Structure formats: structure tokens, C-alpha cells
Chains A and B, each alone.
Chain A
Amino acid sequence: MTASATLSQLPLQPVGDGPRDVLATLPAVLLFAHADCPTSLLTLRRLAGRGDGVVLVAEEEPAEAARLARRTRLDVPVFAQPPPYEASRTLGVEAVPTALRVNAQGEVEERVVGWDREAYERMLGVELPADAPSWKPACASRSVYDWSGGEGLDELEDMFERGWTDGLPVVPPTPERIEAMLGGRAPSRAVGHVPPALGEATLERVAACAVLAGCRPEYFPVVLAAVEAALEPAFNLNGQAVTTQPAGQVIVVNGPIRDALGLNSEIGALGPGARPNLTIGRALRLVVALTGGGYPGRLDRATLGHPGKVSCCIAENEEASPWEPLHVQRGLPAGSSAVTLVAADAPLSISDHRSQTPEQLATTLGWAAATTWSPYWWPLEAYSLFVVCPEHAELFRAHGWEKARVREAMYAAVHRPAGELRGQGETTARVLGAQSDEEIPRWDDPARILLVVAGGPAGRFSAVLGPCLGMDAAVVTKEVEWST
């Protein structure tokens, strides 16, 4: 095929009263540009009034192409190329502006990418304004990042179109991926009905959420255990899923499966970086949002929500802990693997680099919870999850403090007189009914204080995840069924 034949077959749409066929403009400088590119706008404006021989090929719909020429005052023939930008793809235009000097036979003789005043002066044989900048780098062509014409990539956009997402890109749940995720389990087996819309969680749908979240198949037993735990009526997922509160579902993972899957319990235990933690937590949230219909802004009415509602999966650093792991404390045998579900608010960091005694540290940790939920709503009748960093845990270990003693010390340390909790805002019936000097504890019971150890070896930063109040949401632990 000749060069001109190639050009004539490109789906360019003439705009305005200019030539109907791009071949009729040759020889010419075909200037590829689009409206979202500042360098394109600069180039078009610099060429305004000096554009003899230029033909604008805008990566836009025709109306937008006309508007682009109008706003930059570039009075030249204009052609539009809507998605999938075949002209740009065919001619190898990966950045804009790109100027192609094309001869009468349709052959490209020169190519200038970005704004380059000297190159344009040479190519067009004109003198251009000397205003700075004389050079500016190009932007990506729409053909590069618009996925509608790209083989395979449009699957990601398709997921957004279907609403199968939490706002981030997801992995498309193809039958092959689902089969791998299920690992031979029966796809139609029912796990339960997921609030608030009570969609039935079959294994296949849970697997779809795990795939969407980016899980590897070996993570599935943990996802499944987390879903089963979340569906325990005592957890009251229904209330959590629709509330205006920010609370989300936090997963704590214990046992050997942490190492088997590579769950991170050390540096950055609450933060980014570890695929197993992030995708397992995300899978549970997708089950709630998609299978259960608890999608933010629809049935999920959270005023703010919090980032942990995208994903929050904490692996306990049992190796750095002086205490029995959370799942053992909750009655499962040592050596088993388990998930524990807690309804909780976002983490609040607690810096303490100076405490010398366990009493001091317990007091600091406990008082950090003083403003969670509300500074005046005392006592909290719900759980606070404390993530104790290894250096803090070490102080308790050095003094032989068991978990129960830490909890008791925190509980005993944090109280305020009822008189100070009244008159500032909403508070509890207990505060309203108390004598002014009656000390009100932060929690209604020391058992409301949950302690897990996680984090890296250095730094004395622990955290508290505030409560989900009014839901009567129990903490639920579920053993993970898996084999090595």
C-alpha cells in the first residue's frame, strides 16, 4: 500500500468548511494534538496566524476539534479523530503535539515531538514569536492511554462500567481465574446472605470478589473465613454496612498461615506494601459492597467512611509479642490459624518514646483512646483495638505484664469526672445520671480493650482503632481451614 493510500484510509473526520480529504492538503505539516495537553495548546497558539501549510489533526470528537482550533485561534484545516485514535496509532504518534511533515506522496519526511520553536521555524519556513519557552515536552497521546481501542486493557474499564469495583482498578473475574480461586470447591455452595441487601454469598461470588480484589488463590481460605466470620449474626454486619458511622470491618490474622501467605506483620503492618494484607481485606469489603449491596452512597450511608474501608487486614506479629496471640486468647488452639473480625474506626497513632515503666505506657495507650468516637461519650460500650508495636510490647514483657494486666491498667488509668463530660455535647445516660465528681471510666469493661502486637522492630508508635458504637457488634474469631 502506498503512503497516500494509507493516509486516505485513516478515519479522519473533516471539521468545518475545510478540505474533505486529508490528501487534498498535501504536502502539509500534520499537527497531532489534543485539548487536555498544555503543550498542544501552547503550540497551537504559537502557530496562530502563522500556520500556512499546517493541518490540525485533533484527537477529539469533531465538535471538540473545532473548539480546540477556535480557542487557540489556529485558522487551519482541521480533522478530528475520535476514539480509538487509529490515525495516531497507525502513524506511531505516541505523544502530542507531534508534527509530521508529509510530502505530496503521503510520505512522512520529518517528525517533531513536543514544542520546539526552532524545529517548527525550520519546518514551516516562518519566524515564530520568541516568547519563552522555546521548548516544552510533549504529553501522552490519547491513543496511548485511552483503553477503548486497546486489546485487553478495556477489560479494566469494563469493570468500572459494571460497578464491580471499590473505586480502584480490579482484576477481571474470568472463569479461569474463578476456577483457580475456588481450587476445586463447589461454586454454588452457599456461605450465607450478605447484608444489607442480603445477596447470597456463594463460593463463586466470594471467589469473584477475591479475584477482583487481586488475591492469589492461596489467599482464598483466609477470605472465606473472614466472610464466614463477618456473616455471624453476632457481628451485626447489617448495622455496620448501612450506618452513617465511619466504621469498617477489620481482619486480624493469626497463626502459621501468616507466613505461608507472606502476610506482613512487621514494618508498615497497617500500611501499604503487602499484597496478601491489602487484597484479603479488600476482598471482604468487596463482598460487603457488591454481593451485599453495601456500596458507599447507596445502602452504605457512611458520612465519611475511612480508608480502612477499602481494606484493613492486620497480621499479628506473634513472634514479637510477649502475649498469647489474639486467636488463642479467644479460645482457639495454639498452632491453628484464624481470622478475628472487629468493627472499627480508622487507626489513630500513639507516639510514646519516653515511658520507662509499664504503668506509664499503659496510661499513654489508654488515654489515646480518650477522644475516639467523642471526647464526651464515656464509657464506650464497644471494642477498641490497640495495635501495640514491638518496642512497646517489649516494655511490658520486660516487666512480666500479661495482657490482662495491661488491659486492667489501661482501664484503671483512663477516667474522667462526670461533671467534665457534661454540657459539652452529646454524652451517655450514665454521665447524665451521675454525680459530678463520679469518675466515669473510658470503657464499660476492661474486656473492651483488645490488644494485638504488630509492626517493625524500631519505633515506638502504637495505634488505636476506635469503636463502632451502638451496633452491639461482637468480636468474632473463625479458624481458617487450610492445608500446607
Chain B
Amino acid sequence: MEYVSPLDTRVREPEEPSTRTGSISGQRVWLLDIAKNRSAEFLDRIEVLLQERGAEVRRTGKPTFSKPAPEAVIEEIALHGDLAVEALAD
């Protein structure tokens, strides 16, 4: 029997993950605060740990955890970063 599908069955081409660096020393690491309760507190600790390991840490954030990050934020991370940590909290 033939049916009309409710699904969008288009398949997105898989994308290769970026090359693993093997080390965070000297890397530009973005910390993305998703604006959950106590996200900043959690990221403060992560920042210290990353800096101890030689990372150059940069901070940015989403206006709200409930929506995808604005394009500008994603672009900034992509253009000016080597690694990113998106951090949840609560």
C-alpha cells in the first residue's frame, strides 16, 4: 500500500568532525554559557582547569538555553576558536 509520509526523509550529508588536536595547550578554547541556572559558576571552574593546562580561554554565551545559539555567536566561535565547550548547569 502506498502512503504519504509525514516525515521529512531528506538525509543530510554527514560532516567530518574537525581534526583532534591531542592537546589543549595553546589552543583557543571557547566556553559557551547556555544561560542555564549556575552555568557561569560551572564554567568559571572549567575555565580555571583549562587555563592550568595552557589553554587560551574565551567566554561567550547564548541569550537563552531554550533556543539555538544566534548565528553570530556560532560564527565567532568558528572563526576565532580551536575548541569549544558548551556547558549545561542547573
Contact = CB atoms under 8 A, between A and B. Distances in A.
A238 interface: yes
Interface in B1-22: 1-8, 10
Interface stretch (B25-33, B43-51, B64-72, B75-83): B64-72
B5 A205 contact: yes
Contact of A291 (B2, B8, B65): B8
A173 B7 CA distance: 12
A19 to B, nearest CB: 40
A36 B4 CA distance: 36
A369 to B, nearest CB: 22
A239 interface: yes
B1 A287 contact: no
Interface residues of B, number: 14
Given A238-B68, A470-B66, A205 B6 contact: yes
B7 A239 contact: no
A174 B4 CA distance: 6
A236 B63 CA distance: 13
B67 A239 contact: yes
A127 B4 CA distance: 60
Interface stretch (A99-107, A207-215, A406-414, A449-457): A207-215
B6 A173 contact: yes
Contacts of B67: 236, 238-239, 472
B66 A178 contact: no
A175 B4 contact: yes
Nearest to B7: A290
B6 A470 contact: no
A239 B4 contact: no
A209 B3 CA distance: 12
A239 B66 contact: yes
Contacts of B66: 236, 238-239, 243, 470-472
A472 B64 contact: yes
A155 interface: yes
A175 B4 CA distance: 6
Contacts of A472: 64, 66-67
A64 interface: no
A243 B67 CA distance: 11
Given A173-B5, A208-B3, A212-B6, 9 more contacts: A164-B5, A164-B7, A175-B3, A199-B8, A205-B4, A205-B6, A209-B6, A236-B67, A472-B64
- Top 9 A-B residue pairs of the complex, sorted by shortest distance between their CB atoms: A239-B66, A199-B8, A208-B6, A290-B6, A178-B4, A471-B66, A173-B4, A208-B4, A209-B6
22 contacts: A164-B7, A172-B1, A172-B3, A173-B3, A173-B4, A174-B1, A174-B2, A174-B4, A197-B8, A200-B8, A200-B10, A204-B4, A211-B4, A236-B66, A238-B68, A239-B66, A239-B67, A243-B66, A290-B6, A291-B7, A470-B64, A472-B67
